[in-house]
Copies of this chain bind each other. A is one copy, B any other.
Amino acid sequence: MESNNKDNIKNNLDKLFSTDFITTNKDGWNETEIFLKEFVEILLSYIKEENDRSSKVIDFHHPEDMLKLIDLHIPEKGMSLDKLLQSCKDVLKLCVRTGHPRFFNQNFSGLDIICMAGEWATATTNTSMYTYEIAPIFSLMEKEIMRKMIDLVGWGSNEGEGIFTPGGTMANLYGLVCARHNAFPNCKQFGLYSLPKLCCFTSKYSHYSAKAASAMIGIGMENCFEIMADKTGRMIPEALEEKIIECKNNGMYPFFVTATAGTTVYGAFDPIDKIADICEKYNIWLHVDAAWGGGLLLSPEYRWKLKGIERAKSVTWNPHKLMGSLLQCSAFLIKQQGLLLQTNQMSANYLYQQDKPYDVSYDTGDRSFQCGRRNDVLKLWLMWRSKGMEGYRIQINRLMDLAKYFTNKIKKTEGYEMVVDDPQFLNICFWYIPKNLRNIPQQEKMEKLGKIAPKIKGKMMERGTTMVGYQPDTNKPNFFRLIITNPATTKEDLNFLIQEIIDIANDI
């Protein structure tokens, strides 16, 4: 009879509504369970297909065409469970498969099954991180994971604390604001008005959040100086020192330097140790933006690339990049304990009462700029446990091997040309030179080359078989930037991409 009842529900999803669920109907457990299991079947199909290399990475449609393929409107009356399942199917068909082994478009990719399960559980336990009161276990878990990350950065056991933020841009903003508070604690109360003119420094190839954060906090983009880089994309320390001196001579107050560990386009690692020397000499806060490169700290073979990171006062590290976490998972780490609280504390008495029936030092809310804050730790914790330290070491070293494999392969393949000869990380930047451009004067070639990558990309999206991004750089016309970060990717997938670009180029 129970099974009859379940079949009955399954066959009548078109007559059932969300109001029939257990949450508003005490007899609605079967309806709830059956709907969710049907929903999970749809998600499982998606995951299966995403991992099938014969399936498309993207089913591309221009916006106006896509709007014809799906009905997005909010109806007057609620939709049946059946229609909601169909809505979900319709949406999934139109999603880009970022977990597909041939998606090389971004510096995140892959769908870690454990991490995803963790995110499902995060949704189910829907809470906010601000107090131990309502996020007891997640508060402790965040503390544990932050300690692990701090140990990997290399700070002492009595140093460091951290917090998850909504993305690397926010983490970099935290760095800037903590540094400002450290230098001028009165700024929090009274603003920048009576302060000297602050300025900060970052590499020409750093993430744009350095400038965005400078604009945000009121010091202005123009007072965030871009320092020249060498030909592999690393900040030139001598140029940094020169600029600092120049600023001081101009009456400005240099207070913050961002060194990047893994730049967005070239994957370059700024020489942190040398930059740290300069920061110490001039008493400037060193922040390391390791949003992308931080994961290398998990590899004993490659962590030397971040040598000196332990001298930083603060660090951004996004597990949703190299560590393969789902978005969003982004840590801000700071060496000096207590400063995060001093910087952000607003002491709202309706949340952070001091007379609570437990040790309120476990409440993280007053250390965060945000009030409500997502639980970003459970998925990472579960995934990290599934791999262990050893699993990450193997995974990351393998990705580095794949990058070398790809680099060697395209160096030997006719028509390909490297933008940076010897990539330092998992970003490989290259041009594909179509046959008709190979034997023409260099200047003409460069002029015409700028239009090639967008054309190939356009065709690639139409074919839908793979995805890789492109961009220009000063004096360098549009080139492709391949990112290898999905553990599902194999040499065959890389070979496929190499051949696909050739095929498309021959076609246009």
Which residues of B are found within 8 Å of A87, using beta-carbon distances? 382, 385
The chain B residue with its CB closest to the CB of A110 is B23
Q: Is the CB of B374 within 8 A of A328?
A: yes
Q: Indicate if A311 sits at the interface (CB-CB under 8 A).
A: no
Q: Is the CB of A23 within 8 A of B385?
A: no
Which residues of B are found within 8 Å of A138, using beta-carbon distances? 95
Which residues of B are found within 8 Å of A139, using beta-carbon distances? 63
Q: Is the CB of A133 within 8 A of B120?
A: no
Contact with B along A118-150 (1 / 0, CB 8 A): 111101111110001111111111001100100
Which residues of B are found within 8 Å of A351, using beta-carbon distances? 471
Q: Indicate if A245 sits at the interface (CB-CB under 8 A).
A: no
Q: Is the CB of B126 within 8 A of A98?
A: yes
Q: Is the CB of B99 within 8 A of A23?
A: yes
Q: Is the CB of A127 within 8 A of B96?
A: yes
Q: Is the CB of B220 within 8 A of A191?
A: yes
Q: Indicate if A244 sits at the interface (CB-CB under 8 A).
A: no
Q: Is the CB of B350 within 8 A of A488?
A: no
A326 contact from B126, B187, B208, B461, Cβ within 8 A: B126
Which residues of B are found within 8 Å of A118, using beta-carbon distances? 88
- Stretch in A45-53, A230-238, A437-445 with 4+ CB within 8 Å of B: A45-53
The chain B residue with its CB closest to the CB of A355 is B454
A386 contact from B17, B218, B387, Cβ within 8 A: B17
Contact with B along A84-118 (1 / 0, CB 8 A): 10011001101110110000011010111110111
Q: Is the CB of B189 within 8 A of A222?
A: yes
- Stretch in A74-82, A154-162, A404-412, A414-422 with 4+ CB within 8 Å of B: A74-82
Q: Indicate if A197 sits at the interface (CB-CB under 8 A).
A: yes
Q: Is the CB of A23 within 8 A of B51?
A: yes
Q: Is the CB of A217 within 8 A of B218?
A: yes
The chain B residue with its CB closest to the CB of A63 is B362
Which residues of B are found within 8 Å of A469, using beta-carbon distances? 350
Which residues of B are found within 8 Å of A220, using beta-carbon distances? 187-193
Q: Is the CB of B106 within 8 A of A344?
A: no
The chain B residue with its CB closest to the CB of A43 is B124
- Stretch in A7-15, A31-39, A496-504 with 4+ CB within 8 Å of B: A31-39
Q: Is the CB of A96 within 8 A of B170?
A: no
Contact with B along A152-187 (1 / 0, CB 8 A): 000000000000001111100000010000000001
Which residues of B are found within 8 Å of A457, using beta-carbon distances? 356-357
Q: Is the CB of B136 within 8 A of A61?
A: yes
Q: Is the CB of A36 within 8 A of B44?
A: yes
Which residues of B are found within 8 Å of A145, using beta-carbon distances? 74
Question: Smallest distance from the beta carbon of A177 to chain B beta carbons, Å?
Answer: 6
Question: Smallest distance from the beta carbon of A19 to chain B beta carbons, Å?
Answer: 7
Q: Indicate if A73 sits at the interface (CB-CB under 8 A).
A: yes
Q: Indicate if A300 sits at the interface (CB-CB under 8 A).
A: no
Q: Indicate if A413 sits at the interface (CB-CB under 8 A).
A: no
Contact with B along A17-32 (1 / 0, CB 8 A): 1110111101001001
The chain B residue with its CB closest to the CB of A62 is B358
Q: Is the CB of B37 within 8 A of A67?
A: no
Q: Indicate if A338 sits at the interface (CB-CB under 8 A).
A: no
Q: Indicate if A229 sits at the interface (CB-CB under 8 A).
A: no
Q: Is the CB of A124 within 8 A of B133?
A: no
Q: Is the CB of B121 within 8 A of A92?
A: yes
A191 contact from B18, B88, B92, B223, Cβ within 8 A: B223
Which residues of B are found within 8 Å of A388, using beta-carbon distances? 74-79
Q: Is the CB of B371 within 8 A of A327?
A: no
Docked CA distance A300–B214 (Å): 43
Q: Is the CB of A387 within 8 A of B32?
A: no
Which residues of B are found within 8 Å of A362, using beta-carbon distances? 63
Q: Is the CB of A348 within 8 A of B117?
A: no
Tell whether A116 pairs with B106 under 8 Å between CB atoms, given A22-B47, A87-B382, A265-B350. Answer: no
Which residues of B are found within 8 Å of A188, using beta-carbon distances? 215, 220-221
Docked CA distance A33–B47 (Å): 9
Interface centre among A126, A168, A192 (most CB of B within 10 A): A126
5 contacts between A and B (CB under 8 A): A95-B127, A95-B137, A211-B346, A212-B369, A349-B471
Extra contacts, 18 of them, besides A192-B219, A193-B220 (Cβ < 8 A), are A18-B383, A23-B110, A29-B51, A39-B120, A42-B121, A61-B136, A63-B140, A66-B136, A72-B381, A75-B388, A92-B121, A166-B370, A167-B370, A170-B370, A191-B198, A192-B220, A207-B348, A208-B346
